């Protein structure tokens, strides 16, 4: 069963507490006809928790902005595989997440507890949030503030947030900014930075940390960005 079948089926049987668990519990009550019961597996629980976290945080971000546009929902589908037959209920789950009493900070803090502060998978989550936020043409001031707070809760400092904003917010991040090195870095420094980022952000690595298969396209796009920056830097030497 795909991740959406698990989540919109209520994800009963998974040991997830906190606001993420509460949202899953609400879904279980909302979709009373679902009968799926999954294993109490910590790895599977992480995949479910990541998926619920991105839905909850993107839904709360749309609420912070005051409106959910069709372009934001379309952007989510561009980065995340959702079977056509699951679209309606995933949309209902999104609406349910937007209406929960838990604040977005609670979901962000639980994500850190699950994956660790400054974990590469959390930057992947932030990249998805940036992509959704700019889907309607520009990132609004409430969305910028929201993203900054989430980034801070995830453990990223202001400099790291600015780097992500340059890369994911404007889509115009310079090659050295993407690699996290100086513009005049040596070939050795370029290769070392590239190897580190590839090691941390390879889709297989992120999947091993709990990234669901349905999010592989987003991870692949990120790796492509890193590789392009690497080749661009080497051409300048």
Residue 37, domain extent = 3-235
pLDDT digits (tens, 9 = 90+) for 60-74: 887 777 766 677 777
pLDDT over 80 at 124, yes or no: yes
The total number of structural domains in the chain stands at 1
pLDDT digits (tens, 9 = 90+) for 3-52: 776 776 554 445 567 777 777 766 665 443 333 334 344 777 788 888 88
- DSSP string across 140-197: -HHHHHHHHHHHHHTT--HHHHHHHIIIIISS---HHHHHTS-TT--HHHHHHHHHHH
pTM check: above 0.85: no
């Amino acid at each position: 069963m795909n991740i959406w079948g698990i989540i919109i089926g209520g994800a009963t049987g998974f040991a997830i507490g906190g606001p993420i668990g509460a949202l899953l519990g609400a879904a279980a009550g909302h979709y009373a006809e679902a009968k799926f019961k999954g294993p109490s597996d910590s790895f599977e629980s992480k995949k479910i928790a990541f998926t619920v976290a991105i839905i909850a945080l993107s839904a709360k971000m749309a609420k912070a902005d005051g409106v959910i546009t069709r372009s934001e929902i379309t952007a989510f589908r561009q980065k995340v595989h959702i079977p056509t037959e699951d679209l309606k209920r995933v949309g209902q789950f999104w609406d349910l997440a937007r209406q929960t009493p838990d604040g977005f900070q609670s979901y962000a803090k639980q994500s850190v507890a699950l994956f660790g502060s400054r974990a590469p998978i959390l930057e992947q989550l932030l990249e998805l949030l940036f992509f959704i936020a700019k889907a309607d043409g520009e990132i609004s001031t409430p969305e910028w503030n929201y993203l900054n707070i989430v980034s801070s809760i995830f453990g990223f400092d202001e400099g790291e947030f600015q780097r992500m904003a340059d890369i994911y917010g404007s889509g115009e991040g310079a090659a050295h900014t993407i690699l996290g090195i100086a513009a005049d870095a040596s070939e050795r420094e370029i290769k070392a930075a590239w190897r580190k980022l590839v090691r941390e952000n390879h889709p297989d690595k992120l999947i091993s940390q709990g990234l669901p298969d349905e999010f592989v396209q987003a991870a692949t796009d990120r790796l492509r960005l890193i590789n392009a920056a690497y080749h661009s830097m080497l051409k300048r030497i």
